[in-house]
């Protein structure tokens, strides 16, 4: 019996990865469960785990699946390398992608080493159009199938939403990190204008990233609310407790929180995708080099609820003049 090997970038790290990997496990429905290559030994639902760069022959691999979002070029090339090894070791081994995306460094226009292994993919199952374009630029010959953000179909779990007050709530999710902070600082006037209609609304943070990680979106979300929505109460303060957040916030519960919002403003794609699925106006903000909000809303353009928008905030005049002076 041949087995399936799933290759992903740091799987189950953060809610987005957890949501995608749950969709991957459901789509594969394999028995025995697929192997999932992991950086660290851990028990994860729906998979048996293997070392990060395993020997496909030793595991009896006949099918390799690249899954989820790749942001780092080295991680993408590792996955391509393992897939090529499986093809070489087992004649007839297949390679495919599932819920697959490339972003940031992984999506550079120069082709990653070993990308030719995807020419024979059956099929290329993609989450969004930006990845489809990247694969065309890399001259990958396989046919593409785009299923926009399939992880948004998860059934909502209302366990946390029941504690929310009645009335209009603003869902907010802002990616952490220096790049986002700098971009917001340079666009104060545009950000203030964007958020002005929501003054006085209770703010519901919708964190997606790994707590206390370099891109943790909870501190960035709270900072934005404090600066541009002073006086707005912040709901679910328990989210600030790392253990509580890891234990209680799941993709299904996040979707239920999103569904209680009257509007969602985010740089993060998962809350925006959940908003679209729930009929909630989704306002995406594209800041710096991160384009996940743009990728999400453009891929779901035919399904956007009324009031949705994709915003590219303009830099303040002073910031533009400073950049011109440095140039």
Residue 306 sits in the same domain as residue 230: yes
Residue 252 sits in the same domain as residue 219: yes
Q: How far is CA 322 from CA 167, 184, 193, 315, in A?
A: 43, 16, 22, 11
Q: pTM (2 decimals)?
A: 0.92
Residue 173 sits in the same domain as residue 312: yes
Strands 144-146 and 124-126: parallel
Q: How far apart are CA 225 and CA 269, in angstroms?
A: 19
Per-residue confidence band for 115, with pLDDT thresholds at 50, 70 and 90: very high
Per-residue confidence band for 78, with pLDDT thresholds at 50, 70 and 90: very high
Residue 133 sits in the same domain as residue 182: no
- pLDDT of 218 reads 96
Residue 139 sits in the same domain as residue 182: no
Q: Is the pLDDT of residue 288 over 90?
A: no
Per-residue confidence band for 142, with pLDDT thresholds at 50, 70 and 90: very high
**Residue that terminates a domain, selected from 114, 147, 180:** 147
Q: Is the pLDDT of residue 320 over 70?
A: no
- pLDDT of 40 reads 74
Q: What is the pLDDT of residues 230-274, one digit of tens each?
A: 999 999 999 999 999 999 999 999 999 999 999 999 999 999 999
Task: Decide which of 2 and 307 is more confident.
Answer: 307
Q: What is the percent of the chain where pLDDT is above 70?
A: 96
Beta strands in 108-251 (DSSP E): 124-126, 144-146, 170-173, 203-205
Per-residue confidence band for 326, with pLDDT thresholds at 50, 70 and 90: low
Asked, for residue 323, whether it belongs to a domain, the answer is no
Residue 173 sits in the same domain as residue 303: yes
Residue partners of 27: CB distance under 8 A and separation at least 6: 98, 99, 150
Residue 194 sits in the same domain as residue 122: no
Q: What is the DSSP string of 276-304?
A: HHHT--EEEE-BTTB-HHHHHHHHTGGGP
Asked, for residue 152, whether it belongs to a domain, the answer is no
Q: How far apart are CA 245 and CA 121, in angstroms?
A: 38
Q: What is the DSSP string of 167-192?
A: S--EEEE---SHHHHHHHHTTHHHHH
Closest-CA residue to 293 (of 315, 312, 280):
312
**Residue that terminates a domain, selected from 147, 171, 204:** 147
Look up the domain containing 204 and give its range: 161-318
Asked, for residue 154, whether it belongs to a domain, the answer is no
Asked, for residue 326, whether it belongs to a domain, the answer is no
Residue 100 sits in the same domain as residue 61: yes
Asked, for residue 40, whether it belongs to a domain, the answer is yes
DSSP annotation of 247 reads H
Residue 179 sits in the same domain as residue 139: no
- pLDDT of 220 reads 95
State how far Cα 277 lies from the chain centre: 15
Q: Is the pLDDT of residue 323 over 60?
A: no
State how far Cα 248 lies from the chain centre: 19
Sign of CA dihedral 173, 25, 27, 105: positive
Q: What is the pLDDT of residues 40-56, one digit of tens each?
A: 767 888 999 998 888 88
Q: What is the pLDDT of residues 199-220, one digit of tens each?
A: 999 999 999 998 888 889 999 9
Per-residue confidence band for 93, with pLDDT thresholds at 50, 70 and 90: confident
Q: What is the pLDDT of residues 154-172, one digit of tens each?
A: 999 999 999 999 999 999 9
Closest-CA residue to 283 (of 306, 260, 315):
306
Q: How far is CA 215 from CA 121, 208, 212, 244, 289, in A?
A: 32, 10, 8, 19, 14
User: Number of folded domains in the chain?
Assistant: 2
Residue 18 sits in the same domain as residue 120: yes
**Residue that terminates a domain, selected from 92, 124, 147:** 147
User: In residues, how long is the chain?
Assistant: 327
Q: Is the pLDDT of residue 188 over 90?
A: yes
The CATH number of residue 230's host domain is 3.40.50
Asked, for residue 83, whether it belongs to a domain, the answer is yes
Asked, for residue 194, whether it belongs to a domain, the answer is yes
Residue 96 sits in the same domain as residue 231: no
Residue 169 sits in the same domain as residue 143: no
Q: How far apart are CA 313 and CA 323, in angstroms?
A: 16
């Amino acid at each position: 019996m041949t087995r399936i090997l799933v290759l992903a970038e740091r799987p189950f790290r953060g809610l987005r990865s957890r949501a995608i990997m749950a969709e991957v496990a459901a789509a594969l429905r394999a028995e025995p469960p697929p192997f999932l290559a992991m950086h660290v030994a851990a028990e994860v639902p729906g998979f048996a785990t293997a070392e990060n760069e395993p020997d496909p022959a030793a595991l009896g691999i006949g099918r390799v699946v690249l899954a989820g979002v790749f942001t780092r070029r080295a991680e993408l090339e590792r996955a391509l390398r393992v897939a090529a090894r499986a093809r070489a070791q087992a004649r007839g081994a297949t390679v495919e992608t599932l819920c697959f995306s490339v972003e940031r460094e992984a999506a550079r226009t120069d082709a990653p080493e070993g990308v030719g292994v995807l020419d024979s993919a059956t099929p290329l199952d993609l989450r969004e159009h930006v990845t489809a374009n990247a694969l065309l630029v890399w001259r990958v010959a396989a046919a593409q199938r785009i299923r926009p953000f399939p992880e948004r179909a998860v059934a909502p779990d209302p366990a946390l939403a029941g504690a929310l007050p009645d009335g209009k709530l603003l869902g907010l999710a802002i990616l952490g990190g220096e790049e986002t902070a700098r971009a917001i600082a340079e666009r104060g006037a545009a950000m203030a204008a964007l958020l002005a209609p929501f003054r006085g609304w209770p703010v519901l943070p919708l964190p997606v990233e790994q707590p206390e990680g370099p891109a943790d979106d909870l501190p960035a979300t709270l900072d934005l609310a404090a600066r541009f929505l002073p006086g707005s109460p912040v709901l679910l303060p328990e989210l600030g407790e790392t253990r509580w957040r890891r234990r209680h916030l799941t993709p299904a519960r996040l979707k239920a929180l999103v569904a209680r919002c009257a509007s969602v403003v985010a740089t993060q794609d998962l809350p925006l995708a959940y908003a679209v699925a729930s009929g909630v106006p989704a306002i995406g903000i594209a800041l710096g080099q991160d384009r996940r909000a743009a990728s999400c809303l453009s891929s779901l353009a035919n399904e956007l609820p009324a009031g949705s928008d994709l915003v590219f905030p303009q830099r303040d005049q002073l910031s533009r003049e400073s950049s011109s002076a440095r140039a």
